[in-house]
Homo-oligomer: A and B are copies of this chain.
Amino acid sequence: MAQQHSCGCCSPTSAAPAAGATTPETTETTCYCPIDGVLGTVSKKYAMRIVAILGAAGPTRYGELQDRLKSASSATLSSHLDELADAELIERRSFDEVPPRVEYSLTPRGRELETRLQPLLEWASDETS
């Protein structure tokens, strides 16, 4: 998962080998590209939308999410929720009652993401032609 490479977009001097140049292969610098981390998760088709919904509406049930993301099947939705929960961007809260109820909400970290996502989303809807 935490793939390492030198993409040059995050670390400027990626071409230069580490000190000593003991490694002739010039394999990888210690550049970790953010895109491979959180941003990889975020680029999932519905990930941003889920974050946006949870950010705007607060704790939301599974069914309502599915309702809002009409084109997403339950399988797809589940996998997205899993991944977001794994990344600790959202939190899953399951209530012990019948019928079952599960609510998803943003973690503090997810809220930070949402903050940074907003301008992007707003701009995107403006630029939409």
Contacts and interface: CB of A to CB of B under 8 A. Distances in A.
A15 B123 CA distance: 24
Contact of A113 (B10, B69, B123, B128): B123
Given A5-B70, A33-B49, A68-B9, A39 B129 contact: no
B15 A52 contact: no
Interface of A: 2, 5-10, 12-16, 32-35, 37-39, 42-43, 45, 48-50, 52-53, 56, 67-71, 87, 109, 112-113, 116-117, 119-121, 123-125, 127-129
A80 B96 CA distance: 47
Contacts of A71: 5, 7
Contacts of A38: 124, 127-128
